[in-house]
Amino acid sequence: MLCRLGGGCHRDGFRAVSSMPEPCQSSPLSDDESCDFDWDSLGFGLMPTDYMYIMKCSKDGKFERGQMSRYGNIELSPSAGVLNYGQGLFEGLKAYRKRDGGFRLFRPDQNALRMMTGAERMCMPSPSIEQFVDAVKQITIANRRWVPPLGKGSLYIRPLLIGTGPVLGLAPAPEYTFLIYASPVRNYFKEGSAPLNLYVENEFVRASRGGTGGVKTISNYAPVLKAITRAKSRGFSDVLYLDSVNKRDLEEVSSCNIFLVKGNVISTPATNGTILPGVTRKSIIEIARDRGYEVEERAINMEELFDAHEVFCTGTAVGVAPVGSITCMDRRIEYQTGADTTCQELYSTLVGIQTGTIEDKMGWTVEIS
């Protein structure tokens, strides 16, 4: 039996339920374009908004027309592929409020492409680029009053692609669900915009050759929690991982890519299958080259940390975050931060493009009126 969303059970054991409290008193589709909220207190934590988007795919590999549902809990079969075998992917992108009251997305097509690549690796069907971008637009409009004012943050949008069909033996799930929810956010790290202090991890690794480090599968993230927890207990912001073979070359931080600056040369580890090809990473590389920097994508030995002038991290959640120090082989290395740094120059340019204060000559942004 197949029942409608919001009641009964689907044949794949998935449904949305309305047991979550209403996030806001008034309707998100009314003329009220802003929630009554102290945006200056906003951090990076889940703040439920009004709507989520759900689109299902069955055995024929085609996604049906998606629909909005009030934000709430979902029910899954105990034998769902995502619960038993981790067959799932997620993405992260942001919507920004413009000065004229409209909204702007930053390179959503790149997130769609990355999800398609990850889906192929994880034996899953994927929404088309058009379906993905349209769904992101819809979730932004439905939750538009949760988009913070310009300069106060952004609406973080989290698309999920999960195997919801029941499966017992190790095999791809028979059915899949594409789901998007959103939450207003500001700074990812508790340091805010202050420089990060990283620790080079030489015991645990994030990814290995032939694995899934180069795609945004959900199974990549829980394994790093042990290293992060240990590092934070020692006063560090996050962990910088090394390659799994020789434990010598830099890879990435737990949830972001890393860059080293020395003079006019910016270096970042090449995406060779163990490193996630970040959308912000790609954008910063293009911005830097456009501004006259020489950018190298290559293997970077950890010894190069001792010679770098600046280090910074990039990611959708973190933006462009300066690194103040890295502790490597029991040695603390400090780096240039603050005004007049390459990091600040690239950060200001990126944010200007994202929010519309700088002209988007790259054609990266998508306007939502």
- Residues with a catalytic annotation lie at 216
Distances (CA, A) of 118 to 123, 135, 190, 205, 214: 9, 18, 30, 20, 8
**Do residues 174 and 59 make contact, with C-beta atoms less than 8 angstroms apart?**
yes
CB-side neighbour CA atoms (13 Å) of 73: 7
Look up residue 323 and give its two tokens: 């690194």
**Do residues 268 and 281 make contact, with C-beta atoms less than 8 angstroms apart?**
yes
C-alpha dihedral (342, 290, 279, 343), degrees to nearest 10 = 0
Helix runs in the chain, H state only: 81-85, 108-121, 129-142, 225-233, 279-290, 342-355
Label residue 45 exposed, middle or buried (CB < 10 Å: 0-12, 13-18, 19+): exposed
- Distance, in Å, from the CA atom of 254 to the CA atom of 227, rounded to the nearest integer, reads 9
Residue 224 DSSP label: G
Distances (CA, A) of 181 to 159, 194, 242: 7, 29, 33
**Do residues 250 and 323 make contact, with C-beta atoms less than 8 angstroms apart?**
no
CB-side neighbour CA atoms (13 Å) of 21: 4
Q: Is 235 helix (H, G, I), strand (E, B) or coil?
A: coil
CA 186 to chain centre: 13
CB-side neighbour CA atoms (13 Å) of 25: 3
